[in-house]
Structure 1
């Protein structure tokens, strides 16, 4: 948005007279600056002292209110009216072109869930579901039903067949211990399972293939639904009655 406003200023300057008029009061500027900076500074300090990284767009977008006020105040200070309208028009057009679209995001969890349900025919088949929120890095949350449901929020709208096992947000020493102590025993008790991950956060499919390959498991990616990947693991192909291969991605 800042780039769009600057582009608009350039266009207004190039097409005619452009002047800046100091309209904003000092108190208003301080309020807008505080609303813009305080959330990000607070998140930075919390991340540094707690060891929990919250510097992600999900949280830093809380600074957008202050940034919008600052941008609006800057545009309001532009004159004359013709130049002001040019800057505003360029900013609005840029916003529509960059933020509009048919899809809310590139994460098609509905399509991924449909593919999983087409693959799994045995309710005991493990379905490893990526907890694709930064809080999912704390594996102890998986033991709390409320936290677990929040970290696997996509399942509340798009449920899947099988026995769901949460997978941590990323690969760390703690998450690898969780995979080794919790996930591996569950999946090796079966002859096949399905992995659903949000890419490209962590190479869980590669980690599991390296760990389970010596035990006879083979993996194949069966679908990509935007950034959501569905991978099937089978031991000797003996569980085809419970995990069925598909010929392509399921429709969203």
Structure 2
């Protein structure tokens, strides 16, 4: 890529409505900068620019032991780049074979990386492959893969994005066939593997109480569009974490004032969510 072309992309990303700090995007020799630029160009709907930049990343081998305290790991950068390349290829070709190759590699990295993902739902990366198969007329194969995933993950208790997305995919297929009652039951089962908080419990209870099966399914499915809690522990700070941190810091400041000491303004989100 020519330097002038690269600088043009950097300028576009740095001056958009949601600019990224220059230190995260200006170094072409740092592939993670190229990852940031390419993915932001995708968000800005500059598909040609995104593909030009992301193509320089597709063969990079990430350090699978990289686990920074803040920001994305190399594995996450690579997974997100592969995901976006798959979407670009899908938009340009309308065929599933090539995009699925990239998603297969992204899924492999998701499984191989044993540390926390701060950025993405690993189950959604896997399930996107099924959605493309369905769009290409291979829904039966996708359903078989979803059922195989359920079998493979049946011993895993608690939050499990792969089990959740497998059940969600099968439920959507049932709904397309008009079997809303079964689809709703499948989504209710799926939420046993979903990270829920009090707001989610309330929404799910309302869905369960709906008398009409189609409405019940629609309410359950609407809940799938809301990320009530992070998929993986410690990956993002929730609004509840912020509230608790504010309360804790307020109590600390008041105690310091009462003791005639200078209050400490510092707080750590990380200490709250570990």
Structure with more of its chain in helix, by fraction: 2
Structure with more of its chain in strand, by fraction: 1
What TM-score do the two structures reach when normalised by structure 1? 0.27
Larger Rg: 1
Between the two structures, name the one with larger relative contact order (CA 8 Å, sep ≥ 6): 1
